[in-house]
Amino acid sequence: MFDGVARRYDLLNDLLSLGRTKAWRKIATAVIAPKPGMRILDIAAGTGSSSRPLADAGADVIPLDFSKGMLDAGRKRHPDLAFTQGDALALSFKDNEFDVTTISFGLRNTSDTVKALRESLRVLKPGGRMVVVEFSQPTNKIFRTIYLRYLMRALPPIARKVSSNPDAYVYLAESILAWPNQSGLALLMSEAGFQRVQWKNLTFGIVAIHTGFKP
Contacts of 181 (CB under 8 A, 6+ apart): 136, 137
Q: How confident is the model over 93-116, as pLDDT tens digits?
A: 999 999 999 999 999 989 999 999
Domain ranges of the chain: 2-7+17-138+180-213
Lowest mean pLDDT among 36-40, 42-46, 58-62, 147-151: 147-151
Phi, psi of 109 (to 5 degrees): -90, -5
Which helix or strand (DSSP H or E) is residue 214 part of? none
Q: How confident is the model over 172-186, as pLDDT tens digits?
A: 778 888 899 999 999
Q: Could you tell me whether strands 195-202 and 84-85 are parallel, antiparallel, or unpaired per DSSP bridges? A: unpaired
How much is the pTM? 0.87
CATH class label, 2-7+17-138+180-213: alpha beta
